Amino acid sequence: MKLTTFLTLTAFGVSALSATSAAQAADIEGLQSQGFARIAIANEPPWTQVTADGKVSGAGPDVALAVLKKMGVEEIVASISEYGAMIPGLQAQRFDMVAAGLFIKPERCEAVAFSQPDLCDAESFMVKEGNPMGLKSFADIASSGAKVGVVGGGTEEKLAIEAGVDRANVIVVPDPQSGSKMLQDGRIDVYALPVLSISDLLKKAGEGSGLEMFAPVENTPIFCAGVAFRKEDSALRDAYDAVLAEMKENGEFAAIVEPYGYSAAAAMQTDRETLCGGPN
């Protein structure tokens, strides 16, 4: 589904638009009168994607817009952000929501109010053909001294550090798409992203790229993402969840996510409380 929306490429995410609308957007009436919701995305297909003419889509924004439309909010305005800047930007009211495939994890549940899960995936490594360094886990990366590419502030960066990878070998890539180029150029030895993200990149790299995927990364769980709201906007989150639940029930949710490769069942078999390790 193509979304007619506008992409604000804000370096710091602060703009007159954000300043004027922030106060209004703490609740559903605020978003309805604003006419749109400001969302943070990463441009990491198929979770979030932006075409050359600025059209925003991807499973995350598509689900969010479908829910918002049923809540009387007809548009989304997306800003591209690093994962590590999404929660601070949300808390600073630069966005109304994060609809970027942000994984629901206990430490994030401390900072934001998550919707119920929408997009689930396993972790993967993009490696040179034949996986010459035999990298199957983050522990392998640590022990081999390999350089791993990660998106800034993302889950893979945290997994690498927790596995003992030397910080000098954890290379933050400037944007999700540039990691495969850095791998091809030998600037990194492995690129860590969810399976569907690496699948998309391999498809774009084409036959003969000399790259392949190893998945699932050993000793890593299936992660599930949700839409993130400010803690103080829990009423908005609850209203969003009520609509999302209806769409899960009547098949509309599956019709949006499954063409992108996501399993609707995987998202429906878990819940926010489980993923947060408690109420959120």
Q: Which is nearer to ligand 6CS, 28 or 90 (CB)?
A: 90
Among 21, 124, 155, 220, binds ligand 6CS (CB under 6 A): 155
Q: Give the Cβ contact number of residue 215 at 10 Å.
A: 16
Give CA separation, 87 vs 29, 59, 81, 130, 244, in Å.
23, 20, 10, 38, 22
Closest approach, Cβ 162 to ligand 6CS, in A, equals 13
Among 36, 95, 103, 229, binds ligand 6CS (CB under 6 A): 103
Q: Name the residue among 19, 191, 43, 184 with its Cα closest to residue 92.
A: 19
Give, as ranges, the residues between 35 and 64 that touch ligand 6CS (CB under 6 A): 44, 47
Q: Name the residue among 66, 175, 53 with its Cα closest to residue 118.
A: 66
Q: Which is nearer to ligand 6CS, 30 or 45 (CB)?
A: 45
Closest approach, Cβ 176 to ligand 6CS, in A, equals 7
Q: Which is nearer to ligand 6CS, 84 or 187 (CB)?
A: 84
Q: Give the Cβ contact number of residue 175 at 10 Å.
A: 13
- Which region among 31-39, 152-160, 179-187, 244-252 touches ligand 6CS (by CB under 6 A)? 152-160
Among 193, 224, 236, 257, binds ligand 6CS (CB under 6 A): 193
- Which region among 1-9, 62-70, 98-106, 177-185 touches ligand 6CS (by CB under 6 A)? 98-106
Beta strands at 190-194 and 123-128: parallel, antiparallel or unpaired: antiparallel
Residue 123, interface with ligand 6CS (CB under 6 A)? Answer: no
Q: Which is nearer to ligand 6CS, 13 or 60 (CB)?
A: 60
Give, as ranges, the residues between 65 and 84 that touch ligand 6CS (CB under 6 A): 83
Q: Which is nearer to ligand 6CS, 99 or 247 (CB)?
A: 99
3-state SS, residue 187: coil
Give CA separation, 145 vs 33, 63, 131, 169, 171, in Å.
54, 40, 15, 7, 12
Can you give the length of the chain in residues? 280
What is the distance between the alpha carbons of residues 275 and 263, in angstroms, rounded to a whole number? 17
User: For residues 103 and 197, is the Cβ–Cβ distance under 8 A?
Assistant: no
Number of residues lying near ligand 6CS (CB under 6 A): 13
Instruction: Enumerate residues 6+ apart whose C-beta is below 8 A from 31.
Output: 24, 25, 37, 68, 71, 73, 96, 236
Among 59, 67, 102, 227, binds ligand 6CS (CB under 6 A): 102
Residues within the interface to ligand 6CS (CB under 6 A): 44, 47, 83, 101-103, 151, 154-156, 193-194, 197
